[in-house]
Structure 1
Amino acid sequence: MTDLRVADFDFELPEELIAQEPPAERGQSRMLVMDRATGEVRDSHFSEFPSLLRDGDLLVLNDSRVIPARLYARRTLRREKEMPTGRIEVMLTEPAGDNRWHALVRPGRKVAIGERLVFPAPDGQIVLEADVLERGQFGDRLLEFAPVEDFFGILDRIGHMPLPPYIHRDDEATDRERYQTVFSRERGSVAAPTAGLHFTPEVLDRIAARGVEIARVTLHVGLGTFAPLRVVRVDEVRLHRERYSISSETAEAVNRARIEGRRIVAVGTTAVRTLEAAAAQAETAPLTAHSGETDIFISPGFGFRLVGALLTNFHLPQSSLLMLVSAFAGQERVLAAYRYAVENSYRFFSYGDCMFLA
């Protein structure tokens, strides 16, 4: 598959099919069901998802919690204590050690190394300060925040939910809940693991009542999930590293399912990447509890070790996530299914409909 090009994963998508709002109620989405062996698709609804699972399946969820990572700052030059006018948008992308974060800043060309950014609360009080340590490409900056007692608590006060760039509106109060899975618990993502957004507590209860085992992994989603692939060939793609962890309970559940030949069903591409990265690291050995980072890139030709079925949303054209789904179910079949979804007005991307491939 080394001759594949990024452009081979393109498809036409009308702008009006990009979901700008979540469904009126969580769990109301449509679902396209695909037989990955044949490519056959049929229309369904997410409410049918529990009935498509088998007794003994292991359902794996990503429990990462989205942080309010979009902040607004003012500039100040440390040596002059100036306070220039103009607001700077700061999007935290990943931690980089004690009090340090990588961030995207806009407008980036104005923010130089050595500057200090200050972050006011709605009442005007400065609650965070950060020095610009390094400058990277495409607006990337390394920031060092002055120590505070409760950094994440302050983010909860002044931060905004980091809605993806294809949602053309400001975040609203309702996004605090809806751009978050009901099973999220480990803070660290700057983008939602969107396949999990469809689940409700009632759906999870129905799944458990069917004799399906549920396990959790944690992969903190970075903004690299939306970054355009700035290469021509698929074998040139390099992804950002993302932090993940697998508990002893989950490792044991995966090992049991593997030994007993039970199907492992991943909820979302982030769960796939976590499981397959851990399996690749362990090779033929049993999984063990551990934490680490992964930049695993899954494209056609990849040999899946663990995942036997996948629930996922519809992904961006020419994206690494579309390549992952194509690796799982076949490039031609997946692109045909996407064309069907477009023709039948499925809603796309984070707040859109979903697809079950089994």
Structure 2
Amino acid sequence: MNNPELLTSSYDFILPDNLIATHPAHPRDRAKLLVYNRQTDEVTHCHFYDFEKYIPKECALIFNDTKVIKARLYGHKPSGGKIELLINRPLDANNINVYIRGKVKAQTKIIFDEGLEVVVKELKDDGSRIVNFFQKNELLRFEELLPIIDKIGHIPLPPYIQREDNAQDATEYQSVFAKEEGAVAAPTASLHFTGEQHKRICKNHEHAFVTLHVGSGTFKPVETDTITDHPMHSEYYDISDKAKKLLDSDKPILSVGTTSTRTIEFYARHKKMQRGEANLFLHPNNKPIRVNYLLTNFHLPKSTLLMLVASFVGLEKTQELYAEAIKNNYRFYSYGDAMLIL
């Protein structure tokens, strides 16, 4: 293997701890924005409130309107042993894929507040568990579960934000246009928009929404030596009729976030599928074919999201841009600053 763009080790970098954002910018649009123009090879440093100035005139914007659910639950076994459960994704109406901290086996029961109970059905090889949720001995459908966990659950902050969630996170770890419940991680490029700014952009530019329910697999680092050997996780997506019309046109597209990008690019390769499971892995050997411009945050080393950025600008330029961001004290990851690739 001579191609460094396909070696996982090429996507490693050292990030000073103080550049890992543990809280968002206030107001949201005060985050920094690094703008990279591929035509001129120029880098501009500004703030997110400048974003509108850089939107190419003729393009349409695509947003991900998924909404983060309170997917982290704290409970206990009948024996009293403490359990932490993280909902990952529903497999169907009743069977939910979760991660559980604490020892469990098939048929283990876990008790939560509000009379909510879980029965473990199956232990998966990847460390996840398949469970059913019950209330008053009634098997719950996923949509019936959502209002209950909204009362008793916690916002599932990413593992690198090493603190408990607080009341502010319920709104701050959510975009101003979040609508469709189902994500366990925020589409983070969306977090920078204020309500006023988003309304103004939507008034002045063609736009549409897609839904991709971000799963916890988004944080999973690539562990294979060669990136193309990585088994990509899948996530449920839905493309609105308005978005489909835009994507089927020849209009240039500015994708807000890696999650919107994965949705758009999956659709571009599977034109008849307006909804389903997307498991597309974009990297320098699998470049975008529909998205023209990308707004994104700064991502984890060895992550598929970092490789997605490299699918737009190549490995060497990705390394340069990240070194530039570190040098200029940009804040990284979910609550961090943003980059616009033009």
Q: Same fold (TM over 0.5)?
A: yes
1:238 and 1:148 mapped to 2: Cα distance?
31
Distance 1:143 1:14, change over 3 A: same
1:348 to 332, 335, 339: 332
Matched position secondary structure for 1:27: helix
Query: Are 1:276 and 2:282 an aligned pair?
Result: no
Q: CA deviation at 1:205?
A: 2.7
Q: CA deviation at 1:227?
A: 1.1
Match of 2:323 in 1: 339
1:228 to 212, 217, 221: 221
Identity %: 41
Q: CA deviation at 1:58?
A: 0.4
Match of 1:118 in 2: 111
Deviation digits for residues 113-141 of structure 1 (CA, Å, limit 9, x no counterpart): 111111124xxxx2x11111111245411
Q: TM-score, with normalisation over the residues of structure 1?
A: 0.90
Matched position secondary structure for 1:102: strand
Match of 1:191 in 2: 185
1:242 and 1:133 mapped to 2: Cα distance?
21
Q: CA deviation at 1:264?
A: 0.4
Match of 2:174 in 1: 180
Q: CA deviation at 1:157?
A: 0.3
Match of 1:57 in 2: 59
1:238 to 231, 241, 254: 231
Amino acid at match of 1:41: V
The answer to whether the 8 Å contact 2:132/2:140 transfers is no
Amino acid at match of 2:128: D
Q: CA deviation at 1:344?
A: 0.8
Aligned pairs for 1:1-358 within 5 A? 3=3, 4-75=6-77, 83-107=78-102, 110-121=103-114, 126=115, 128-137=116-125, 139-146=127-134, 147-148=139-140, 150-209=144-203, 211-256=204-249, 258=250, 262-282=251-271, 290-358=274-342
Q: CA deviation at 1:54?
A: 2.8
Deviation digits for residues 55-113 of structure 1 (CA, Å, limit 9, x no counterpart): 331000000000000001211xxxxxxx2223200000010222211111112xx1111
Amino acid at match of 2:30: Q
Q: CA deviation at 1:289?
A: 7.0
Matched position secondary structure for 1:336: helix
Amino acid at match of 1:90: L
Matched position secondary structure for 2:57: coil
The answer to whether the 8 Å contact 1:39/1:333 transfers is no
Q: TM-score, with normalisation over the residues of structure 2?
A: 0.94
State the 4+ residue runs in structure 1 displaced beyond 3 angstroms: none
The answer to whether the 8 Å contact 1:2/1:234 transfers is no
2:182 and 2:202 mapped to 1: Cα distance?
27
Q: CA deviation at 1:253?
A: 2.1
1:140 and 1:85 mapped to 2: Cα distance?
22
The answer to whether the 8 Å contact 1:61/1:266 transfers is yes
Q: CA deviation at 1:24?
A: 2.3
Match of 1:285 in 2: none
2:82 and 2:314 mapped to 1: Cα distance?
46
Amino acid at match of 2:101: R
Matched position secondary structure for 1:120: coil
The answer to whether the 8 Å contact 2:258/2:296 transfers is yes
The answer to whether the 8 Å contact 1:60/1:215 transfers is yes
5+ residue gaps, structure 1: 76-82, 283-287
Matched position secondary structure for 2:269: helix
1:296 and 1:138 mapped to 2: Cα distance?
19
Which 10-residue stretch deviates more, 23-32 or 182-191?
23-32
CA RMSD in angstroms, aligned pairs only: 1.6
1:269 and 1:43 mapped to 2: Cα distance?
21
The answer to whether the 8 Å contact 1:238/1:295 transfers is no
The answer to whether the 8 Å contact 1:36/1:330 transfers is no
5+ residue gaps, structure 2: none
1:189 and 1:357 mapped to 2: Cα distance?
25
Q: CA deviation at 1:41?
A: 1.3
1:38 and 1:14 mapped to 2: Cα distance?
30
1:139 and 1:292 mapped to 2: Cα distance?
24
Q: CA deviation at 1:255?
A: 2.2
